[in-house]
Amino acid sequence: MLDFSHLRCFSAVAEELHFGRAASRLNMTQPPLSRQIQVLERVLDVQLLDRTSRSVRLTAAGRSFLPEAQRILRLAETAAHVTRQVAAGKAGVLKLGFTAASAYDFLPRLVTACRAALPDVTLSLREMVTKDQVEELLAGRIDAALVRPPTTHPDLTAVRALAEPIVAAVPADHPLAGRERLALSDFQAEPFIAYAPHEARYFHDLVVGLLAEAGVQPNVLQQLTQIHSILALVRAGLGLALVPAAAERLRFEGVVFRPLVLAQPRPAELFLAWRRGDDDPLIGRLVAILAALPEG
């Protein structure tokens, strides 16, 4: 059976064409080096080297075997290096799920930080709603997920990644656009673009809760799923909306964003979740990167 020590000894002699220099390079003496070559030749049942008292040269079989031996040694070194990198959480593939709204601002910042801290890690990103992310996470098809609350599944661990304020989105030509700040009472009876109760459940419940606490009943004209679609209708002048602050990054022409005066702020939250007990070192590195990430 081939042994890596045999291959290293043969490669050193073949490259030096001198047993003394090869032995010195390998930090060993000549007799054990010669025995290693002899064992290798017996295993292969061929003569690899022509030896005389004055010279060493490769046989035809030796010249053919040398590049293969070198390739095997390189592969072994690469495998060992990659394994150590993976064990240290510095290499591998990290499959990360995310919601569409997190891609407006938070996800790009997280990805940039990951690429700087983990240049040898491949990020595989998948956009999904929270429900689908949880299912994929529990099935092991993704490693971590950026999800909306609640994050109380017994098989998952989660830490808060982001808490951003809710702001008002107003058509640029609307009378409310001239104010620096708005109150929820300003939405009373106003045409309103809301979130769909099932497809966008988290934002639907958040906005409905805010309005209910203020005793406000806007005139809901449309219920949509995606924030960029809601902003498109605001731009068209069909109504007002409440959106996470990151939506300002979309830079919709004809839409202005105004902070809200709230008695009790209720931010839009985003959590990083992963399988409880997952021992992948990359998860620990991701959590550390998240903890050090500056607020946007």
Residue 28 DSSP symbol: S
pLDDT of res. 214:
94
Average of per-residue pLDDT values in the chain:
92
What's the first-to-final CA gap in the chain, in angstroms?
59
Domains of the chain: 4-87 (1.10.10.10), 95-159+272-292 (3.40.190.10), 166-266 (3.40.190.10)
Residue 263 has pLDDT above 90, yes or no: no
Is the bond leading into 150 cis (omega within 30 degrees of zero)?
A: yes
In the chain, the amino acid numbered 8 is: R
pLDDT of res. 174:
96
pLDDT of res. 290:
96
pLDDT of res. 227:
96
pLDDT of res. 73:
84
Question: CA–CA distance from 284 to each of 90, 196, 280, 287, 291 (Å)?
Answer: 11, 35, 7, 5, 11
- Looking at 39-43, 62-66, 81-85, 248-252, which range is the least confident one? 81-85
Q: Is the pTM of this model over 0.75?
A: no
- Least Cα distance to 187 among 138, 230, 250, 240 occurs for 240
| Cα four-point dihedral sign 253, 254, 255, 258 | positive
pLDDT of res. 4:
86
* 83 — pLDDT class (breaks 50, 70, 90): low
Rounded mean pLDDT of 232-242? 97
More confident residue, 234 or 79: 234
Provide the token pair at 10. 């043969």
pLDDT of res. 90:
61
Torsion, Cα 126 129 134 139, to 10 degrees, reads -50
pLDDT in tens, 41-64: 998 999 999 888 788 999 999 999
DSSP run (H or E) holding 206:
helix 201-213
Question: CA–CA distance from 161 to each of 3, 46, 115, 288 (Å)?
Answer: 50, 63, 18, 11
